[in-house]
A and B are shown apart, each in its own frame.
Chain A
Amino acid sequence: MSSEAHTSADYIKHHLQNLTYGQLPDGTWGIAHSAEEAKAMGFWALNLDTFIMSLLLGAAVMFMFRSVAKSAASGIPGGLQNFCEWSLEFIDSSVRGSFSGKNNMVGPLALTIFFWVLSMNLMDLVPIDYIPLLMSALGVPFFKIVPSTDPNATFGMAIGVFLLVLYYSIKMKGLGGFTRELTLQPFGKWGMPVNLLLEGVNLIAKPISLALRLFGNMYAGEMIFILIALMGGAWAGMSMGSTTLYGSQILLSLGWAIFHILIVTLQAFIFMTLTVVYMDMAHQEHH
């Protein structure tokens, strides 16, 4: 590496840049080849890598459960069926624990969210240079394989959940009931503007916290992976310092990866549990 500071910054930037498709400065549509180009595309651009990875992972999870469901037998479950039943039971019990209403959609929703987020998070454990290197060999400038480090993906899911919360709030309490809940508490009808402000913040905070929590955790985790990977980039011949750095890169990234098994599962579980809790609040008359 020629100039250390420059390449480190480049390396980090490269790893944090999505593969963006949108309108290029010259007016044509195509893939941005630099962060500046991607930024210039504005809102109407698509992060292809997030899109492709989340679709692929979602499809893989669906395929797994579908294939098990199709061949499910009532006898002694073996292998994958056993695993799927196990996870289904786990999610079912945690939904029963926190959702008190009556809605057959919440269980499958929780299952989908958990496994989708989990599979997206798990991509974090793949060594960070593998896929980008492969992709650059194929001529693709950027490729982030962890969709949950892209706020677009987490906000997309959170907004989906938010719409469901709104839908069920109105369906369960009626438009009037929902409006009353937003305006008439906690201070009664004379404190209506304050109530609306408080409850409005309360409501908007739900999708934002949902999205930002997942994004923040995964992004920070990814960032640390990148920083650890940079240590090996400091290799400058067979010296004591660089060997130590090199060794500690391996150990640190190993430690971080092991720690991340926990983070990855936990974040998926939190996203799922919060979704269930928000749905529960949508179904309840007053909270």
Chain B
Amino acid sequence: MNINATLLAQTIMFALFVWFCMKFVWPPIMAALEQRKKQIADGLADAERAKHDLELAAKRSAEILREAKEKAGEIIVNAEKRDSEIIEAAKAKAKIEGERILAGAKAEIDQEVFRAKEQLRTQVSAIALAGASKILGREIDAKAHNDLLDKLVAEI
């Protein structure tokens, strides 16, 4: 086995072969690998984003829930306030109405009392007249003594 130009030829050929591989074989393989890597990276990034979005959504939903609760509480408070207001107003109105009714009743009673007094007065005068006529033994002419009777009635 002796060294000769074959070795040189093989070396040239090997250099060319390596060049060929670098130029035409390596890039497609690397491209495929790179694409695979990118795909995985994209997938992972998407997953991460989705996770983030989910977190954000959860946070947001919690916030919305909290807001809703707050609002509900406010509404309840308002409603209670309004409730008591209505009750107060109703009470006041009822009081006024009651007073009004009471006053009306009082006036009616006064009137009734007055009317009863008036009747009583006329009846008393009639009784007095009857008593007097019995005492005097004769009938008193109501007409003749009208002014006297009126005076008596006024006195009662």
Contact = CB atoms under 8 A, between A and B. Distances in A.
Contacts of B11: 127
Interface in A232-261: 232-233, 235, 246, 249-250, 253-254, 257-258, 261
Contacts, number: 72
A126 B36 CA distance: 30
Interface in B1-52: 1-14, 16-17, 20-21, 25, 32-33, 36-37, 40-41, 44
A1 B9 CA distance: 16
Contact of A77 (B12, B20, B40): B40
Given A77-B37, A83-B33, A132 B1 contact: yes
A78 B37 contact: yes
Contact of B37 (A82, A229, A254, A261): A82
A127 B13 contact: yes
A138 interface: no
Most buried by A among B10, B12, B20, B21: B10
B6 A233 contact: yes
By secondary structure, the B interface counts as helix
Nearest to A83: B33
B13 A250 contact: yes
Nearest to A253: B13
A223 to B, nearest CB: 16
A124 to B, nearest CB: 12
Interface of B: 1-14, 16-17, 20-21, 25, 32-33, 36-37, 40-41, 44
A-B CB proximity, top 10 nearest: A127-B10, A232-B9, A232-B6, A76-B41, A253-B13, A250-B13, A127-B14, A257-B17, A235-B5, A249-B9
Given A250-B9, A257-B17, 15 more contacts: A82-B37, A86-B36, A127-B11, A127-B13, A128-B10, A133-B3, A229-B6, A229-B9, A246-B9, A249-B6, A250-B12, A253-B9, A254-B17, A254-B20, A258-B20
24 contacts: A1-B4, A75-B44, A76-B37, A82-B33, A82-B37, A86-B32, A126-B14, A129-B7, A133-B7, A136-B1, A229-B9, A229-B10, A230-B6, A232-B8, A232-B9, A235-B4, A235-B5, A249-B13, A250-B12, A250-B13, A254-B20, A257-B13, A261-B21, A261-B25
